[in-house]
Amino acid sequence: MKSIKALSFIAAMALTAAVTGCGSSKESSVSETAPETAVAESATAAQEEDVPKIEGYDLLWNDEFSGSELDQTKWNYEPHEPGWTNEELQEYTTSTDNVFVRDGNLVIKAIKTENNGRAHYTSGKVTGKNKTDFTYGKVVARAKVPEGQGLWPAIWMMPKDEGYYGQWPKCGEIDIMEVLGNDVSTAYGTLHYGEPHGEQQGTWGLTGQTYADSFHEFSVEWEPGEIRWYIDGNLYHTVNDWFTAVQGEDDKPYPAPFDQPFFVQMNLAVGGVWPGDPDETTDFDKAEFEIDYVRVYQKPEYDTNVTKPEKHYREALEDGNFIFNGDFSEAEDLTDDVNWKFLLFNGGEGSAEIRDNMIVISSEAEGTEDYSVQLVQPELPMIKGKKYRATFDAYADEERDIVVCVSAPTAGWIRYLQDTKLTVTPEKQTFTYDFEMKDKDDPNGRLEFNLGHRGSTATVYISNVRVEEIS
């Protein structure tokens, strides 16, 4: 059995390369310029804090934000101009107006001002790069998010040497927590990797409360062959089948790229391609992302002798259909991950039920996105070079549009069957779409019916759904 001894706090921050991680050498070495004095002081402070112990782990480092200002032995400010990434609007600054400590919490505040007659947004981003880097461990953070259209708080991790396996997404990214300010009842945990871009995302929703109402604990357990996400102690997402590669080349040895030193970072973005821009409802007086603590624990050693799990591809039913319960002859729990699942996002409101060999989707609010009201079936085997046919019957109480596609939720949300708008009427119609799979083999294609943001909430009836391979 091959194992790696857990890196001490000092060594973790001074390593130029992990055992199988980034850098020019695969041998561990200690930098001559490592800030050992600051690290030792931080380690002592960590021991003095009243931090809970976790069985099987040692405390590697922590910040309880109990001082009067940001501890710059652990964190860096990372300023950036507006539009630096994701079409975000904010300027990240080093101002204590945007990043400050208050009442035992780190506060990252977004501020709206005017510049030449136009809205100008400032905010903060802090990172642990070159100060609290580590390889493998358990990250625990307790935080409260702001509510408001266009606000996008995040706690996430990036590699110390982003260029070792190649620029994003080849380098890897671990998103511990993201919440959109317009839907603060849902939190996301995501892994990014590969080329082509691979992405696996889990969500944990709250009922009767939101992540903006009170503090919640977000955690990731990062091990050589598996990464697990928790919220308030609830395991909601597990990934163990990532990869990374340069386009057209073989995959790097697993578990690359998640076998190198990473660091924690936190920010509050404003706008961007995912949350959309702020509007007149966004209250910037309350645009504060509060973090109570960040704690990183580590096991004494980790087994690095791991292999990537084999992919399992769903087999078609006897009639060749890859869709299970496509005739809606069986009742189902439409909230679980077995066969059909009904989802609501971004202002979508509605319900779905199976009756009379069809699924009936009723909408009360269409939401702001096509996927705001959505019916899906995942785990469709998509094999490069194969041709497929999707067919179904549909009608509606009154004429309206819907969108159908076959997507890749674990491969960067590319489309195997492109988003296709179709018009359903009160008369039942049969719809047929042929497509060729031209991308990397994927055991997790997903058939989607998207009913949101189409200018109508008319009830839709879908039946006789098939996805089959054609010669």
Catalytic residue list: 173, 178
User: Of 298, 21, 292, whose CA–CA distance to 142 is shortest?
Assistant: 292
Q: CA–CA separation, 405 vs 454, rounded Å?
A: 15
Q: What letters, b where the CB count within 10 A reaches 16 and e where it falls short, cover 415-428? A: ebbeeeeeebeeee
Strands 151-159 and 173-178: antiparallel
**Tokens coding 21:** 């991680």
Please state, as a whole number, how many other Cβ atoms lie within 10 Å of the Cβ of residue 104: 12
**Tokens coding 93:** 């600054």
CB 155 within 8 A of CB 35: no
**Tokens coding 239:** 């990934």
Q: CA–CA separation, 190 vs 204, rounded Å?
A: 12
For residue 396, report the phi and psi dihedrals to the nearest 5 degrees: -145, 165
Q: CA–CA separation, 7 vs 297, rounded Å?
A: 11
CB 85 within 8 A of CB 93: no
CB 451 within 8 A of CB 236: no
Output DSSP code: residue 284.
G
Specify the length of the chain in residues.
Answer: 471
Q: CA–CA separation, 95 vs 404, rounded Å?
A: 47
What one-letter code names the amino acid at 379? E
Q: CA–CA separation, 260 vs 160, rounded Å?
A: 8
